[in-house]
Structure 1
Amino acid sequence: MKRHYSRLWGNTLSGAAGIIYLAWHGQAELDYRHASDSAALWRTFVERETESLRAELPGVQQIWMRDDLFLCLPLSGDDAEVQEERLLELASRLKRDWEPSFRSVASSDLSPGMALHTGIAYLRDIGQRANSSWWYEGMKRALVHGQHLFATERSMKLRLFEQLTRKRMLYPVFQPIISLRDESVYGYEALSRFPANRWFAGPQQLFDFASREGMVYVLDRLARERAIESSEGLAGGQKLFINLTAQIMDDPQFTPGQTLSLLAKMGLSAHHVVFEITERSSIEDFEAAKRTLDHYRSQGFQIAIDDAGAGYSSLQSIVELQPDFIKIDRSLIRGIHADAVKGHIVHTFTEFASKMGSAIIAEGIETEEELSFIRGMGVPLAQGYHLGRPQGAIIAGQQGEKERR
């Protein structure tokens, strides 16, 4: 039954408003649902914390439905998207601050599986004094939004993801890949970067989120385009290594037309590009992957298996896909000069690659000892901080000048 929630605001409120829903949920119900003293403890905690909020948010008020809390606050008539983002930020902050604070004072009343859920609803200006239906619908939306434990966090990530992709805020840095035969720059790996923020610690977290949300193709395409757009300075014989997630090969939109067109604008062709398929993502359908990669090979692109030795099916991926390059994961290169087992594994990869006509690239070279060891094994190509750090642009004609750091 709808209550007259608008009475909370008297006759003064008109304009937009926001609702933040907060409630404890988990595998078991809160003990305070059956203990009046514990329920009072939660309400006392909320009253104290809400009072401190009023200096920042004048007009904030509470609506209780049993032990579920709805914080209602008037909003200005500013842009709705800005106000909704403000609500998400506030809800996220309340969860981050209130959850551990209340747990510390009510630990005996909370089972380990309990967590504070938050949700929000933005109520648009209806141009008149708020009515009961307006509030009721808003509270219902906030409650539904808050059913997922990380609802506000996910919403903030989605907003940031949309902003990053819409404004094309990804940008590449280029790490040189060095020929160990003459120390020339064989090519560059394009690595995606983006402005610092508190939701995504780095590119891996951003791509993992895109994969979970079914948007990895959008991000992967943008990263590929930005890498090619910034490839000015690539010498005629050098290669541009571009990461490609295995999942997007199943995407029907993944076609080479746009890539070839963009390469042509830069005065490049498919022969300059090597697509790196990361081995950390297992490939479930090798037949489909082979068909896709064969199509790209027919266009002149080359293929590399990245992170070999660190994934779930390295040898199967190499045998099935027959890559032009095999990039040995840094976990096998780190300290290889002092680890006989790592040496044997890399030696096996090297012999295997030679028989298949593939070239080995040793990743993560950070010391002179590692470099000398893999050079002695006959590994033809390498990259790592010891050989060159990622840089903002490809420097035309750059040679393999090692960084002794």
Structure 2
Amino acid sequence: MGTPQTSSDHGQMDLLRFATAGSVDDGKSTLIGRLLLDSKSIFEDQLEAVEASSVSKGYDYTDLALLTDGLRSEREQGITIDVAYRYFATPSRKFIIADTPGHIQYTRNMVTGASTADLGLVLVDARQGLTEQSRRHAVLLSLLRVPHLVLAVNKMDLVDWSEEVYEKIHKEFTTFATKLNIPDLEVIPISALQGDNVVTRSENTPWYSGPTLMHHLEHVHVASDRDLVDVRFPVQFVVRPKSDEFHDYRGYAGMVAGGVLKPGDEVVVLPSGMTSTIQGIDLFDQEIAEAFPPMSVTVRLEDDVDVSRGDMIARVNNAPKPSQDIDAMICWMTNEPLRPRQKLAIKHTTRTARAMVKDIQYRLDVNSLHRDQDTKELGLNEIGRVQLRTTVPLLCDPYSKNRTTGSFILIDEATGVTVGAGMINNAT
């Protein structure tokens, strides 16, 4: 396999996933268009088409929102899942934007888009200030444990770049955020249309000393957000090449969900409890010196132990406890309500089992944070705390500790449709 290499040898560029949220008129599409334009992530013919369309509509500016209109029209026709993904890069970082719809009836779509995000970007219109929708977005991002949050106060040009307006929104949102679990908050005054404080610092805000939006996105530190202590490696596939050259090769492929794996580490395979030592770690056709989240690698073990899809490799003295009783927050995603005694399929990391709803403890009002303990069911787009019992033990952690091993989806066995997304509070 050659000399083991570290991940930096592969020239991997840091990746930031962020989810945008905001109501229809807050300028979300314009901001995404501005980021794509200023990072030179659109083709010349695209820009020319947008400029021509803007002129034909009588605008005296380039309507950057048109860059995402194709995705919006698909959404209106009902042929996408209401989360549009956009990709762009700067010399220092790659980005994936999950453009999530903000209406209350699309709560499930926002949960889908923000569940893997490193950062949440909430837009507010400087003229409107904080709305119920803004608060709901912040609550959902907090519930999903998105570690970084940016409140972009947009359309500052329409309030004459008023420091007083900015400070009022800043104070109101900061006060509200103290009730939530938001470890890192940045509030930035911008004009997505004009480009002020998006990529370049604006001369219109001499009273603002913080970073531009792009500078913050490029430099926010996300590596420490991932659990690099507790080794979690769900096995997705057993690699047994059929060629004569590799007839003795046996590896276990998957994505590292936690911790750092290195050759020579003593590990345990769960749920069997068999122990072994990591012989090597392969990335494509190269052997590497270590693997960490969210790398997808193939692990080889010294011993010929029985490992299959759904098993998990962990450290001997730091392994998750197998659990059948799960206490979780669930976002319900289908018209037929979730009720006690209901039976569903559950998919957790690479393991699939069956589950029964033991109890619904409360429904959470994402606007007021009120817990309705009298509820008997969860309807479409509602979030509540639920007790589940699974047919086989799951190897899970609290969602607050690990967003991969702490999450799951619920599936209707009859139709195969995903009907719920869960975040584990604890398991016994």
Q: With structure 1 as the length reference, what TM-score do the two structures score? A: 0.29
Structure ranking higher in helix proportion: 1
Structure ranking higher in strand proportion: 2
Larger Rg over CA atoms: 1
